[in-house]
Each structure stands twice: as C-alpha cells, then as structure tokens.
Amino acid sequence: MKIKLIVLVSLPLWALAIQSCKLKADDSADLVLSNARIYTVNAKDPWAESVAIKGDRIVYVGDAEGGEAFVGDATKRADLGGRFVMPGIIDGHTHPGMMNMESYGPSLPQSSHEDLLAAVKAYSDTVPGDGWIKLCCWSNFDYLKRDKNGPHKRDLDALVPDRPVWITSLTWHSYWLNSKGLEILGVDADTPDPSPGVATYVRDKNGELSGWVKEGAGWQFMAEHFPPDIKNLREGIDRSLSALSTYGVTTVYDGGNWDYEDEVYSYRLNSTHSVNSL
C-alpha cells in the first residue's frame, strides 16, 4: 500500500498551534492546507483537518471551517484529498558530515584473527612507500572474546614493523594501531588519556601501550593524518542532508564529525539545504 505523506517543516510551535483557533483571523494566511488527516502531536486533540501558515508560523490548526477563516485573496490553498500530515521529524543524533569521509583499503575478513592478520599483511605488501596502511574493520566483540584486554600492537608489529598501521573497528569508536602508528601520532607511555575512562590509550597488564585507541583519543588525529577528499565530502553532505529531508527530517542534532569539523562546517555554512543542521 502506498502511503502519501506530507511533512510540515517550519513548525517550532506545532504543539501549541492547536490552540491558535482562538486567534483573530484579522490577517489572511499565506497557505492553507485542507481536507487532510493532520496528526498534531497534541495528546488532548491529536487530529485536525486544516492548517493555516503565515510566514514561518502556524496560525491555525483545527477543523475545516476554522481554516476557511484564514483564507484571503492572496492565500494559496492545497486540498490534500485526505492525505496524512505530520510535524517535521527532529533527529536526535546523526552524522551528516561523515558521509564519504573515510577511505580504506580492501575490507578485512571477519572469519578469524588469523585471516584478518593475513589480509593486513597481503595488503601492506602491495602498497608502496612508507605512509599509513589504513584498513577496516576489526570486530570489538570478537577480540574481546579472545582477550578481555582487546587487540595488541605486537600482532601488527610482527607483520608491518616499519610503517604505520591504522585499523578502524566495526563500531567506528576505536582503532588498532601498531607501534609505528603510535610513534607517528606522538603517543607514548607518558601521553595522558584525553578523557580518562572514555577516550583512552589502552595499556596492557604491564602498563605498556597496547595499540588499542578508544574514541576521541584517535579522532583528534584524523584531519591531520587522513585529510578527506573535499569533493567526496561535499557530495556526501549533500546526499546525507537530502536523504534526511526526503524522509521528513527537518532538524538534526549533529553527533560530531571526528576531527573534521572545520572541513564540514566551512561547507555547510556556505550551502543551502532543506534541513536545519545544528
């Protein structure tokens, strides 16, 4: 069954608009929607038939007769033929700036620890130079089952001792680096955790850095060491925001863009999108 849906986007006072029928209709609306099934998100009066909008405010939500009072000579009208109307959705946590942000080598197998390491070695042998080997992904859950202390840099050091290795986890919230990678980042035994207990450089039972880097302990290095392709980044932002708008999302809470805030917001602030990005 095809569902026809209309989302109203400029409704900061939607929950209060049901009371607007008490306003005087001394100024006609710019737009009146009628013959609709309107969900008001007002528990006391959840359904309405008509909405009147002037500028960026709703001036009326209620029955069809009340909506007619806001119709003037310049008012645009839309008979929705019984279609469903709802307030715009606010997404409480998303990352529209992270679309197309990262690039990796071939996907690593999840079949076993040994298969994953073999794939790391095989890929590193094909990449010339002395720069980063960047791959995805290792499974947080599988590695914690193997060892409650998580992955260890010694496994990567044995395969790739002379160039930095960075492997992102399946959850994208932690990373596995070899000794050369930690050295390139300038992280050593004396480096404090950015946020103890959350953003940390994990130590093993001997107090040695294990190469497991959690949360913001890794994010802070991304923009410097892995600059994004700006063209791909901008295309990703546009596609992400457009998709959100298509599904009725009118406002998003941006949950962060790792260390790429400058690149993301310098583009967003100079662009026009149908989603209000906060």
CATH number of domain containing 18: 2.30.40.10
> What does the pLDDT read at residue 15?
45
Pick out the chain residues at pLDDT < 50. 1-5, 9-25, 273-278
Same domain, 210 and 251: no
Q: How far apart are CA 165 and CA 159, in angstroms?
A: 10
Same domain, 142 and 198: yes
> What does the pLDDT read at residue 269?
57
Phi, psi of 48 (to 5 degrees): -140, 170
> What does the pLDDT read at residue 99?
84
> What does the pLDDT read at residue 7?
52
Q: How far apart are CA 256 and CA 238, in angstroms?
A: 17
Same domain, 142 and 218: yes
Q: How many domains does the chain have?
A: 3
Domain membership flag for residue 103 = no
DSSP state of 143: H
Same domain, 175 and 261: no
> What does the pLDDT read at residue 166?
98
> What does the pLDDT read at residue 271?
56
Please give the model's pTM, rounded to 2 decimal places: 0.74
Same domain, 152 and 213: yes
Same domain, 150 and 212: yes
Same domain, 134 and 221: yes
List the strands of the sheet with 249-254, edge to edge.
Answer: 89-94, 249-254, 276-277
Same domain, 120 and 48: no
Hey, what are 100's tokens?
A: 């197309």
> What does the pLDDT read at residue 136?
96
Residue 151 belongs to domain with CATH number? 3.10.310.70
> What does the pLDDT read at residue 25?
46
The owner of tokens 């989302």 is: 7
Domain membership flag for residue 106 = no
> What does the pLDDT read at residue 118?
97
Tell me which residue range forms the domain holding 216: 113-225
> What does the pLDDT read at residue 10?
45
> What does the pLDDT read at residue 274?
42
Same domain, 263 and 214: no
Residues 6+ apart with CB under 8 A from 17: 11, 40, 51, 58, 59, 60, 61
Same domain, 204 and 251: no
Same domain, 219 and 242: no
Same domain, 204 and 242: no
Residue pLDDT, tens place only, 213-236: 999 999 999 999 999 888 988 998
Domain membership flag for residue 29 = yes
> What does the pLDDT read at residue 278?
37
Domain membership flag for residue 33 = yes
